Every structure is written in C-alpha cells, then in structure tokens.
Structure 1
Amino acid sequence: MPPAAAPTRGRTQALWRVRLVSALRTILACTIVACTTLYGPAPLRHLLTYPAFSYVTTILIVSDATLGDALRGFWHALFAIVQVLILSVLSLRILGPARFNNGLAAVAVAINAFLVAVPESTSFISKRIAFGQIVIVYVGAVVHGTQTGSFMHPVHVASSTALGALASVLAMLFPYPHLAYFEERKTRRLYADNGWGRLKNLLDAFFAQNNTAMLDLISQAKFLSKTGAKLLKRIQDNKEGVLWERPQRKFLKRSCIDPVEKLQLMEIPIRGMEMALANSHISGTNSTDTNSMMNEELREVLGCLRVQLGQKFEQAKGSVPFDSTTATETMEEHLDKYLWKFQSNPITQEELPILFFLYSAGLLHGFTNAQIPDTEESTDLEKQALMLSFKRTWTILDMLPTSQSLVFAFKCSLSLGFAVLFGLMYDKENGYWSGLTIAISFATGRQPTFAVANARAQGTAMGSVYGILCSYIFQRFEDLRLLTLIPWIVFTSFLMHSRMYGQGGGISAVLGALLILGRKNYGRPSEFAIARIVEACIGLTCFLVVEILLNPARAATLAKSELSGSLEALQDWFSNMIPCRSQKNMRGSIFLALREKQNKLKTNVKQLEKFIAEAELEPNFWFLPFHGSCYGKLLASLSKMMDLLTIVAYQIEFLSQVRKIIGVDIKELWESIDDDLELFKKKVGSSLKCLKKLTSIKTLAALEKELQKKIVSHDAELGKSANANALRLLCTDEEEVDGILSSFLQHLNEETNKIYANECEKKLKSQMVLCLGGLGFCIGSLMRETMEIEKEIKELLKWENPSSHVNLNEISCKINILNR
C-alpha cells in the first residue's frame, strides 16, 4: 500500500464511524417515537395525536448531537412548548375554534410567528419548533373545526413535541452516554496531532534538499491545515454541549483560560510559519541558499524547537496541564548564538523569512511574547476593556428589538402566513405540510435561497419515493416497514454532510420517508406522498418569493460590497497602526483601538467568505456569472493580511513597551524605524483607499456617464490628475517593496550593535532582533499581498467590463474628479 493511502484510508474509516454512530442514535430516537405512538398504551396514544411532529422534533434535535446538545435541545423544546401553549390557548379561547377559516388561520399563524421570532435571545431550534407547533395548532383548528378543543388541542401538539425531545435525550443515553466532553477531548487530541504534523512538515521543509521537496512539504502542511480548521470548528461546536453537561464551568473565573481558546491562539503562529516558508523562494531564498545559511546554531535551534513544540502539543492533548513549565534555557542559548552573528553581519532580505519563521515559532512556544511590566499602560488597557465590557453587557440587557430581528420576524411571519393560506386552499386535509416544510428551514442572516429550496424539494421527493416503494413492497407486513428506515437513515446521515444537499436536504429526505413509514391509518401512501410534495412546493415557493422581496440584492452584489468594506477596514487598521510620538500617554487606548479595528476586519472577511460561498451556489439567471476564482484569490490575500496584521500588532505593542526599559541609547533606531513604518503605512494605506474606491463603482460605463454629466473640462485636468495619482497604487514589480525594505534593514543593521551593547537582559535582546526581523518580513509580505489584491481587482474589473480598457490609475483619477 502506498504511504499516502494509509492516512486516507484511516480518515475514511473514521468518517464512516462518526456517521454510523450518528445514524444509529437517530434510529434509536425514531424507534422510541415509533414504538410509543404505534404500540404504546391507548391513553398515551390518544394524547399523542401528531406523531409526525414528534419525528420532526427528534430529527431537529438528534442529528449529529451529543448528550449536552440533546439536553439543550430538550430545554429549548420545552421553552417553545410553553410559548405556543400560552399564545394558542389565549387565541383559541378568545376567537373560538369554530370561527377559524383559511384566512383567519393564516393571519393567526403570521401574528404568532412574528411574536415568537422577534426576541433575539431565543435560540433558533426553539423558534423552529415553535413555528411548527403554531402551524399545526391553527391548521388543525381549520381541519377539525368545532371538534377542536381550545385547550386540549394545543396540549396534544405539545405532548407530541415533548415526546420527540425526550426521545432525543434517551437516544443519547443508551447504550452508553454520548458525552460532548469526550467528543471535545478526542477532537482536541486529533487537532494536536494535526498541528504537530503540520509543524513537523514545516520544520522538515528547512532541511529540504531542493525547492521541489520544500514545496511538497509546504503543500502537505497546507492540506493538514484544512483538516485542522474543520477539527477546530468541531471543538467550537462542542463547547456549548460541554457546558450543558457540566454547567459549573459557566461560573469559572475569567482568568481561567479555556483550552479551546489556547488551541485557537496556536493557529496564527502556525500560519505565520507557513507564510515564512512559502515566501522564502519569492524573496530569493532557494534551497541552496537555505542550506548555506543552515549553520550549526540554526540547526540546533530548530532541533530544540522540534522537541519543545512537541511538548507544547502534548499539553494541547490534555495529557499535560496547560500551566506546566518546560525547560527553555537550551533553546534560548542556541537562539542567542544564532542571532549574535547579526551584530557583525548585516541582516539581508533573504534572511527575513528565517527570522519570521523563528519569531512565529517563538510566539507559538511563548518565547517571543514575554510580558514586560508596564503598570501605567496595562492599567489603561484594563480600564478601557472594562468600560467596553460594560457597554456590551448593557447592550445585551437591552430588551428592545433591533432592526435585524424585526426584519427576520417579518420574513417568518409573511412566509408562514402565505404558506398556510395557499396550502389550505389547495388541500385542506394536508394543509399542514406547506407551513411545516419551511417552519424548520428558517435561519438568521442570508442563505443561498434557491440552493436551500432546491435541496429541500429534492430531499422531500426522494424520501417520499423511498417511503412509497417500501410501503408497496411490505404492504402485507406493515410492522416490517419500520426496518426499512434503518438503511435510509444511514444514507441520509451522509447526505446531510454533502455539498449538494446539506443539512436541509438531508433532513427533508429522512422526514419524507419517516412520515410515510412511521405512521398508520392515513390513507394510501402514494396519495399522501403526492399531496405532501405539492404542499412542500407551495411552502417553498412562498419562502422563495418572500426572501426575494425582502432581500432583493444578489449574493454576488453583496460580495463586491463586502470586498469594498474589507478594504476600508484594512485601511482603517493602517491609519491606527503607529502611535504618534505626541501621544505617549495615550498608547494603551491606541492599542485597544487597534484591536477593535482588527476585530472589525475579521468580521468583514468572514462575511465576505459567506457571501462568496452563497454566490457560487446561486444561479446566474440573466446576470453576469460570478467570478468565483478571482474572489477566492482576493479572500486568500485578505486572510493572509489579517493574520499578518495580528502578528504586527503583537510586534508593535512589544516594541512600544520595550523602548521604555531598554534605555535611550537606541533612540535613533526607534525614530528611523518609525519613519520607515510611516512611509510603509502611507503607501499601503493610500493604495487600499484607491482600491476601495475602485470596487465601489458599478460599471465603467456608468462611471463615464456620470463623468460626462459633470460640467468640468476634465480632459486637461485628467492629465494633471493622472500624474498626481500615479503613485497611489503599488507598482506590479518589487521596486517599491525593495526600496522600503532596504531602508528598514539599513536602519536596523546600523543600530543592531547598539541593541547588543545595551545593558539589558540577553533574552530581551534576542526578542528585539527577532521581533524587528519579523516586522521587516511582515512589511514586505503586506506590500506584496496588496499588490496581489490590486492585480485581482484589475482582473475583476476586466471581467465586469469586457469591452472597456482597464487602467487602474486612470479610473482612480476619474473617480477623484467625480467626487470633487
């Protein structure tokens, strides 16, 4: 067997085990519901008059759940039951069940859905279950008329809901508890193994014999990073379940750092090491140069790093406490020996990737981010953070609905109201399914509407067809029909995680078969299945129309708008990057503002990623096709810049603190570096500002029309503006990067001997050299990524304006003239 085949086979087997365990738990929960509703005591079966919704509740809670998730789902289901009981009993008592017709039922569903959807504090699973109960209560009032009890009818619906929630919890307990705690611990160990595998590949890349071997190891590390991101998401998803299993963890002190947060903090340094190696060949460091610089001191440093980072990831597995200490003196000694050569030998651009690699590795290990006592600034930061925390707490306690919650409630209200109205008009007896189909499909924010509706429709059809076939085959043995659900639930457990159908399509598929095979005495299965498919299409059509009316903007349009917002957030970060020399006492608040800008940028990039994913799933219709590859490259560059800026923030904060205790002997170094950083900030900031304007225009033709309307003689003015703005965009070569980096390195090399001559700790000197070298690498990388963004934006403008000549400087000048 090839070496690469064994890990692939192991991952496949692990995936099968996870999906099968989830499917078996789902089968157990559905079996509990089926046995209770079909073979339970008569009084209990009389109370459970809506077994279909018991299955719906079970599937909503139990899919990919742990015991903690099931407990949380059970609690949210109880909350939904109480909500709907209060609202429905009051309305049925006041109006009377006999008065309900199609229109009144639709209005009642719309009003109740609005009231349930408005509170932002209510969980989504609670809202979905509540929506389903509301549909059943009021459609049932229309179907059964005077036979509907104003109190017992909602109680029957609540009982069926409670059965599904209880079955979900029981399925997580037998044959043994499926604890989120153990899942989190197992995933954490897998993540630690994954991270250690990435690090070993990155460390081995330094010793690669040629560029091909180096790039191959880097490629393997990047492949493992994708798996690591999925594992990290699984750890994050299990956190809430762990809290429900161990609620005392909610009351831990804030000073206790969650191990999950520790794992998340490891990602940035590892990605920094990947970027250092990936950019080594760009800056001219080929394998031969690398081996020539691979002196004995550096080999010993990397050897110590391998040992000590291995211990770090053993801690991440949980086998060693996070606060345990390891001996770092040996690594520090070898690192000092390696860095000491720069006292006499100048640092070159070819060595910056190595210094940044060591800086990132030290940041991961905890060597390069040692705390420097600064009582005044730390107190200022604590005060600012406390005030910010107080403001956020006050916002959370504010009970007034936001505009976003009102829009969401209005969308749910209209969709459910129209679905119930048209569903009852088509088929009174099966009018439940038009509303129920979309009641369990609402989500906050945007989603790929057409893709979701298509997946749900296909899933409903597949499940219904499977149910009809099994009913036909086992029509003489009705009790055996339940056994045919076992392979279908296993199949749909994989379907829920497919790219084509997703969770919505998988849930619809399993419910389509469950509602036919899991019930009795509802007529011919084929007639019921056809009626349900039609009702589902009615509901999905109402859902689509309301979504389009309330969210008419295409995902592609929003992606371009969010791209502009991300560039603006980047520009804001650079405008706050360097503290002014006249604001020495305000440095703590400036760093806090820098962190806020970083969080804003992170939010923008995540939102851009969501819009890109949605735009790639949505149909184009008569619009221009979405340029997914171009947006993917832009997203990659923005993500790299976001990671680099996080590290730059660490570096600047460290340098601003260390300059206070190292003395005044290197004052000229700080002034020179500040000047270089100001030039770098001005260059990149102006480029981002210009690129932001370029992404804000709709089309070049529209820009020309608006420019023609402007009553100016812009022809002569355009030539002046072109010269004035020619330097606003980065050049497509390395001249600008080399110029700024050469100045930075010149000033650094001139003052490096002063750093080593200073009477401060030896460790602090090494930290400063690593930090400054890493900062030089970040400067070059940020400028190169800005150039990549410029290149991709030019490609995007060509794609959107195929008949126009695209010159970014000319377009920028026209925008400036238009904005005067």
Structure 2
Amino acid sequence: MYTLQAPWQVCLASSFRTVLACSIVGCTTLYGPESVRRILTFPAFSYVTTILIVQDATLGDALRGCWHVLCASIQVILPSMLILRLIGPSGFTHGLAALVVALTSFLIALPGSTHLTAKRIAFGQTVIVYVGAVIQGAETGVITHPIHVASSTALGALASILAMLFPYPHLAYREVGKACRRYAENASHRFNLLVEAFCAKENMAAFNLITDARLFSKAGAKLLGSIKDKHEGMLWEKPWLSSDPGEKLQEMNMPIQGMELALTACSSFPIKMMDEELLGVVQIAKKQIALKLEQAMFSVPFDAATAPEMKGEHTYKSSWTRKAISTNHEDLSPFFFLYCMELHQDGPACIVNNDAEAKIQESNQSKKQGKSRMKQMLSFSCEKLLFAIKCSLTLGLAVLFGLIYNKENGYWSGLTIAISFVTGRQATFTVANARAQGTAMGSVYGILCCFMFKNLTDFRFILLLPWIIFTSFLRHSRMYGESGGIAAVIGALLILGRKNYGTPSEFAIARIAEAAIGLICFIAVEILLYPARSVTLAKTQLSRTLRELQDCFRIIGLYTNQKENSRELLRVKQKNLKCHARELQNFITEAELEPNFWFLPFHSGCYNKLLRSIYEVADLLHFSIHQIGFLSQTCQILGITWEEIQKQICNDLEHLMDKTDYLSKCLDEVFLVKSLAEIEKQLQKDNVSHDLELGKSPNGDLSTHLGSEENNILEIGKSFLQQTIRVSNTTKGNEVEEMLKSQMVLCLTGLGFCLNNLKRGATDIEKEITELLKWENPTIPVQLQSI
C-alpha cells in the first residue's frame, strides 16, 4: 500500500548505471587499442564527465548531457586553439595561465542561457587546457591538446548513454509514467483516509487517520518532485510532449489538501452535523471520486484525468448543499470539506465561460512574457554578473596557487571546484567540508586498494565497483550530500581507474593538498561576494514574503470589486508568493547548515512555523479566488445582491492587509537599526507607553489582544453563515437555479472558512514574529505596533 519506492532501491539502480558507465570508461582507457588510448590522454576527466551526467539520470538526461558536452566543447576548444596559437605553449607562465582561466571562465559563466552542467564541464576543460599548457610547456600541441581534452570528455558522455541503454533503456518517459501512477494511487489512499476521518466516531480514530494521510502527503510530495526532476529528460526522449504532468497532478492535489486543512480545523469528532443522510451522500461521492482517481491511475499520465460519467447519482450535490444552512460556527470546517469534495469531482466552479475574453487575456499574457524574456536576453542581471565574477576569481586564484604549490599536479586545485559551482548562494562551509572529507575518504580508499593489490595492478579497477555503490548511498545522505558523494567517488576513481601517475600515496597527498587550496579559494571568494549571513537573508526574505502576501490580499480586493485585469494580476501574484516562499525555505535550509561562530543559534523551529503558516495561507488564497469568482458570477445569474457579500470580503481583506503591512514594516525597521535597543531608546524619548508584548494600550495585555482577535475570527464565520440563510431564502426557481443556489450556499460557507483561517494564519504569523524578535533580543520588550 506504500506507494513511494524504497530509497535503497533508487540508490542501487543509480549505482548500477554509474558502475556500468565507469566500467566502459575504465576498459576503454586502460585496455583499449593503443590508437584510441593515444587520443584519450585525460581519462580522469572522462570519469568526471561520466559522474556529472549519469547520477540519478535517465536516457533523456544522458542525451541532454551529451548536448551540454557539445556546447561546452564548442565554447572552450575552438577559442583555446586560437589562444594557444597567439601566445604559444611555451609562453604560458603560472600567472598568465591563471589570468586566461579567469577571463575564459567569466565569459563561460556570464550567459544565462547556458545550462549549469555545460558550464561545469566547460570550466573543467578550461582548467585542463591551460594548466596542461604550463605543465607540458613547448611540447603542448596547439591543435592536438584541445582535441585530446574534447575526446576524453566525449568518452564520458558516450559511456553515460550506453549505461542508460543496458540491460534495457532507462527511459524518463517510463519513469514519469510510473511516478504518475504511484502519485494517483497515493492520492486515492489519502482521499480514502480523509473521508474515513470525516466519518469517524471518535477523536482518536480521526487523529490516527489524519496522521496516516499526512504520511501519504509527504510521500506524494517526493513523487511530485521526482516527476518534475525527470520532466526535462522526458522532453529529450519525446519532444512533442509539451504538457507538464506535474502541473496536472498538482491540481489534483489541491482539493485533497483542502480536505486535510478542513479536518485539521475540526474541533471534535464525530462531526455534529453528521447524520445518516449526509453519511450516505458522502459515501456516494467517495465512490465517484475514487473511480476518477482509479481512471487517472491507469490512464496515460500525460493526459488530464476526466471524471467518468455517473448517470443517476448526481443528486448528492443538492443533498449535501442543503445542509450548508447553519448558524453554528463549528460547521464551517465540515462545509469546507464538502466543498473540496465537490471541487475534486467537478474541478473549479465557474459558470461563465467567455472564450473571447480568455483568448485576449492569454494573448496579452504571452505578449508580456515575450517582452520580459527579450529584456532578460538583452540585459544581464546582477545575479548573473555576480556568478560570473565568482567563477572567474575562484578558478583564477585556485589555478595560480595550485601551480605555485605543485606544478605537476596543478590541475586538481581548479578541477575540484570547477565541477561544483552553483548559481546563487549555498551553504559554503558545509559544502566545502563535505567535499574535503569526500576527497580524503576516496583517496584513502584508493591507496588501501593499491596496497592490497600491489602485484595485481590490472585488478585494482574491480575494487571500484563496491565503492561506487557505497558512495551512491553517501550522496543521498544528509551528512555528505551530493558534493561529498561526488568527491568521494572521484577521489577513488582517479587512483584506481588510471595508470602511470606515479606512486599512489604521493599522488593522493598531492591531490588532497591541491583540493584544499581550491576549497580555500572557494570559501574566500564566497565570503567576499556574499558577506551576508543566511540568517539575515532569511529575515529579509521573510519581510519580502509578507509584502507579497499583502499584495495578494490587495489584488483579491480588486478582483472582488471586479476591476479589469485583476484576474491576470492575481495569477501573477500567486506565483510570486510561492516563489518567495520557496526562496525563504532555501534560506532557512542554508541557515540551519551554517556555523554559528560567535552569533546566536539559528531559531529554526520558529522559522519553520512561519514557513508552514505562509504556505497554508497561500493554499487558502487559492481556494478563496475560485470561490469569489464563482460567487460573483452566480449572484448575477440568480439576481442576488453581490454588494453586501463584496463589502464583507473587502473588510476582512483590509484587516489582513493592515496586519501584514505592520508586520513587514516592523521587520524592515529592525533591519534598518540592526537592534531593538535603539528602538527602545527612541520609544522612551517619545514617552510612548505601550504594552510590553504587543504595543497596545497600558491596560491591555497579550491575553486580551488574542481574545479580541479570536472574537473577530468568530465574527467572520457568523457573517458568512448569515449570508447562506439569506441566499437560501430567495425565491425558488427552476431546477438549474436551485442547483446553482445550493452550490452558492456551499461556496459561501467555504469562503467563510478560508477567510476565517486566513485571519487566524495572520495572527499566528504575528505571534511567531514576536517570538523570533524575543529570541534575538531577550532583555528588550518587543512592541510590534510601536516599532
């Protein structure tokens, strides 16, 4: 019943392909014909290319890797021939080689259209070409030397493709199909568990079922991530498949996620409104939605799963929507659960389908996207420029100091870091530590194997196979990660997979020293270009996310007032909010790995709570948009006054905007002055007498403030429940109008739940920010509103 593939199976499958690819490279460079071995003079880089391409790859990924190798070789090999001809191989000194490597790396890193893998391969080729010219001197072939580097790189790419073909083609298309079916099965299990929890007779049973559903939710998120990772490789196998299955599966997930939110908000079980009639209606809906999920499970994963036609069983809608007439605030959560079930069955509710308007909006959006892409192509952003400077400085310094320390092994200081660059920030010390440990582990393993097989040099390569399997598990571990795992496997490959490089122990020590030089240069440049700590960036990003959240509330207000272009703006703001939240998550992850030094420990628990609250608010916004659009259109059709509902929504949104506004301003003010102590002095100068916790009146306290917030939240629910009574009492019409009225009643209760929980989520964010500021300023009273 568990739908996620076991991690050890994934690691074993990946390691088998890696073993096969490295064996192809090893047999070719060690035992191939003399004419072939004469061209492949850099087998070390063949292994490096193989490792960069083949890890967790499919056939499509390997084909894409070959394209990256071709792009990198064109960028490096042809210009290097011209530079070697102009300067002359004998004219390359340590400083000149470092300068040429730095300038070439800058030009390689600057274009934003080049893939990161192509840039890494190009960086490695650049180091080998120009450092090789220093080492070989006048004997360096102006044409043959770059061609030998390109040939060694091509061997690694070819070995990767062959490894993906045996014993059968490892297709991304097939892997995505399996993952889509597992995801549909996972969604079916989650849905069944949540419906069982909704019908549960006691709190403990419901809690256990909800916990099980959350476990399936985590497994589903991993499956969805796997689908997104393999999507680009799938396009290399079948370019005509333009649709992204991950987006469609994400749409399938949203109603189930809403059902989980509704059950989490339920105060007790069994649900008070549950009776035999509603139980029967829920069971009918459960069968229909289960059939839809089953159809999605066995259909082609790249087509949208459509609900099967169920004749004679559509009467469940009017049955449960008639129950959405209540004055009990506790019934909002069950009503939202039922709303999500209907959303899962029929998709987002929308009455008016103006094709002309949709086409105009789509056309305008495509034009804007085209203009923005043109601007991105014509102008280099600060981030791209900073990345190019980082690569240039790091590789130039690494090559310079590496050649000064040991001319014969000067390759490894630059190569160690050339294959590990990432755009933007990363956990510098953690990555450097993992690479250093991995390099040492792999080198020591190679030395021990050479000592044990001292007289059987031809069989040393066999000992690489278990090491590749081990490092595959190491690469998926939290301790070493991808950087440490790659460094460990390459460290052993360079000793056991080659010949004629001298004494293994001397080479290993020299390479470890060169790797340390490269990593020191890497850390120094990272600190120079990115001096801000991840904790500081997380705070700044939190403020930006809150401002983006405030913009979403403002645009929803425009959408509620039926302003032009508000729907398109809302769609853009939603995407921006998710992007800001993901960036905040990256900073939090980086800050958790960052050493504290003399600073306070990072309060990861508080930041993770804030992140969960923001993601929950973003999900609730998604539902609120559909509900407001449906209600505004239905009111026009049924002749119901929209202004009263509109006024209530706008009042609630205005309160949310005010709260997020003063929270973001508070964080910005703290960042400007760097300390709450100066703010406290300023408050004392102005004779401001505020509450020590929240900046309220002198008579107020925290419990009073939270109590008033809770009362406001309850008022939201009551107002929308009263609206449902008003709508239900309208004049009866035909069957279609009655169905629309029933759906409108259910939608109103769902909107009440969403606005209710949006306000509660904003209050939670306020409390968590207060806790965060208290953590960093334990001796100073935190006064949010005064700040």
Partner residue, 2:157: 165
Q: Give yes or no for the alignment of 1:735 onto 2:708.
A: no
Change (3 A) 1:382 1:75: closer
Residue 333 of structure 1 is matched in structure 2 by 315
The one of 390, 395, 399 equivalent to 1:416 is: 395
Matched, 1:206 2:198: yes
Structure 1 pair 550/190, CA: closer, same or farther in 2 (3 Å)?
Answer: same
Deviation per residue, 1:620-667 (Å, 9 max, x gap)? 11111100000010000000000110111111122222233222xx21
Residue of structure 1 equivalent to 2:670: 698
Alpha-carbon distance in structure 2 between the residues aligned to 1:574 and 1:758: 36
How does 1:417-816 map onto structure 2 within 5 Å? 417-579=396-558, 584=562, 586-587=563-564, 589-663=565-639, 666-667=640-641, 670-698=642-670, 702-705=675-678, 714-715=686-687, 731-733=705-707, 734-754=710-730, 760-808=736-784, 812-813=785-786, 815=787
Q: Could you tell me how far apart the structure 1 residues matched to 2:615 and 2:313 are?
A: 31
Cα distance in 2 between the residues matched to 1:727 and 1:122? 57
Partners of 1:725 and 1:674 in 2: how far apart?
35
Establish whether residue 243 from structure 1 lines up as the match of residue 235 from structure 2: yes
CA displacement, residues 82-126 of structure 1 (integer Å, 9 cap, x when unaligned): 111122111111111101111001001000000111111001110
How far apart, in 2, do the equivalents of 1:78 and 1:787 lie? 54
1:314 aligns with 2:290: no
Cα distance change, pair 352–718 in 1 and its aligned pair in 2 (3 A): closer
Secondary structure class of the residue paired with 2:420:
coil
Is the contact made by 1:297 and 1:334 (CA closer than 8 Å) also made in structure 2? no
Structure 1 pair 360/25, CA: closer, same or farther in 2 (3 Å)? same
Question: Structure 2 vs 1, CA of residues 486 and 249 (structure 1 numbering), >3 Å: closer, same or farther?
Answer: same
**Under a length normalisation based on structure 2, what TM-score does the superposition of the two structures give?**
0.95
Aligned to 2:326: 346
| AA aligned opposite 1:287 | F
- Secondary structure of the structure 1 residue equivalent to 2:498: coil
The corresponding residue for 2:221 is 229
Structure-2 separation of matches of 1:725 and 1:328: 62
Structure 1 residues 706 and 15: alpha-carbon distance in aligned structure 2, compared to 1, 3 A threshold: closer
Could you tell which deviates more after superposition, 108-117 or 744-753?
A: 744-753
| CA drift at 1:370 | 4.2
Alpha carbons 1:23, 1:489 under 8 Å: kept: yes
Q: Deviations over 1:279-313 (max 9, x none)?
A: 011xxxx114x1x4222332222212222222222
Whole-angstrom CA distance in 2 between matches of 1:382 and 1:525:
63
Distance 2:755 2:375 in 1: 38
Q: Structure 2: which amino acid aligns with 1:678? A: C
Post-superposition offset of 1:672: 2.2
* Unaligned runs of at least 5 residues, structure 1: 1-5, 251-256, 816-820
Preserved CA contact (<8 Å) 1:57 1:164: yes
Q: Structure 2 vs 1, CA of residues 354 and 472 (structure 1 numbering), >3 Å: closer, same or farther?
A: same
Aligned pairs, how many?
780
CA contact (8 A) 2:321 2:743 kept: no
Match for residue 382 of structure 2?
403
Q: 1:72 aligns with which of 56, 64, 79?
A: 64
Q: 1:769 to 1:498 in 2, by over 3 A?
A: same
Q: Check conservation: 2:76, 2:122, Cα contact below 8 A.
A: yes
Gaps of 5+ in 2: none
Map of 2:12 onto structure 1 = 20
Q: Which has the larger displacement, 47-56 or 673-682?
A: 673-682
Give SS of 1:761's match: helix
Q: Is 1:263–2:249 an aligned residue pair? A: yes
Paired residue for 1:296, among 276, 284, 289?
Answer: 276
Preserved contact between residue 259 and residue 316 of structure 1 (Cα < 8 Å)? no
- Greater Cα offset, 735-744 or 402-411: 735-744
Per-residue deviation, 1:380: 5.0
**How much does 1:15 deviate?**
2.7
Contact 1:25 1:172 in 2 (8 A): yes
Distance (Å, rounded) in 2 between the aligned partners of 1:265 and 1:517:
50
Query: SS in structure 2 opposite 1:698?
Result: helix
CA distance in 2 between partners of 1:578 and 1:728 (Å): 30
Q: Which amino acid aligns with 1:590?
A: S
Q: Distance in 2 between matches of 1:755 and 1:56?
A: 75
Letter in 1 for 2:314: E
- Corresponding position of 1:3: none
Q: RMSD over aligned Cα, in angstroms?
A: 2.5
* 1:388-431 Cα shifts (integer Å, max 9, x gaps): 233234335x2432221111001000000000001111111111
Q: Give me the identity figure in percent.
A: 51
Give the match's secondary structure for 2:706.
coil
Quote how far apart the aligned CAs of 1:76 are: 0.7
Separation in 1, partners of 2:600, 2:226:
36
d(CA) in 1 for partners of 2:237, 2:765: 46
Tell me the distance in 2 between the aligned counterparts of 1:576 and 1:803: 40
Q: Name the CA distance, whole Å, in 2 between partners of 1:27 and 1:52.
A: 15
The letter of the residue matching 2:759 is: M
Contact 1:648 / 1:778 at 8 angstroms: preserved in 2? yes
Name the CA distance, whole Å, in 2 between partners of 1:311 and 1:675: 40
Change in Cα spacing, 1:195 to 1:725, as seen in structure 2 (3 Å) is: farther
1:695 Cα shift?
Answer: 2.0
Q: Cα gap change, 1:368/1:42 in structure 2, threshold over 3 Å: closer, same or farther?
A: closer
Distance in 2 of aligned mates of 1:206 and 1:410: 57
* Aligned mates of 1:447, 1:716 — CA distance in 2: 43
CA 1:567–1:59 in 2, change beyond 3 Å: closer, same or farther?
same
Contact 2:351 2:633 in 1 (8 A): no
Residue aligning to 2:258: 272
- Sort the Cα spacing of 1:726 and 1:568 in 2 relative to 1 into closer, same or farther, 3 A: farther
Contact between 2:4 and 2:219, CA under 8 Å: does it hold in 1? no
Using the TM superposition, give the Cα deviation of residue 208 of structure 1 relative to its aligned residue in structure 2, in angstroms: 1.6
Partner of 1:48: 40
- Give secondary structure in 1 for the equivalent of 2:315: helix
User: Residues 445 and 330 from structure 1, CA distance in 2 versus in 1: closer, same or farther, beyond 3 angstroms?
Assistant: farther
8 A contact 1:297–1:335 mirrored in 2: no
TM-score by length of 1: 0.91
Contact 1:687 1:728 in 2 (8 A): no
Counterparts of 1:155 and 1:729, CA distance in 2 = 75
Q: Secondary structure at the match of 1:715?
A: coil
C-alpha distance in 2 between matches for 1:540 and 1:761: 70
How far apart in 2 are the matches of 1:37 and 1:376? 63
Q: In the aligned structure 2, how far is the partner of 1:714 from the partner of 1:722?
A: 16
Letter in 2 for 1:262: K
Name the CA distance, whole Å, in 1 between partners of 2:762 and 2:333. Answer: 18
- Alignment-mate amino acid for residue 155 of structure 2: L
Which is worse superposed, 349-358 or 741-750?
741-750
Distance (whole Å) between structure 2 residues aligned to residue 580 and residue 15 of structure 1? 45
Please list every run of at least 4 consecutive aligned residues from structure 1 whose deviation after the TM superposition is greater than 4 angstroms. Answer: 328-331, 706-710, 716-719, 721-730, 755-760
Distance 1:521 1:580 in 2: 72
Question: Could you say what secondary structure the match of 1:523 adopts?
Answer: coil
Question: Which residue number in structure 1 is paired with residue 30 of structure 2?
Answer: 38
Amino acid at match of 2:643: E
The answer as to 2:369 corresponding to 1:389 is: yes
In the alignment, the residues of structure 1 paired with residue 114 and residue 367 of structure 2 have an alpha-carbon distance, to the nearest angstrom, of 27
Q: Distance in 1 between matches of 2:361 and 2:739?
A: 26
Instruction: Give the residue type in structure 2 aligned to 1:364.
Output: H
1:28 partner amino acid = L
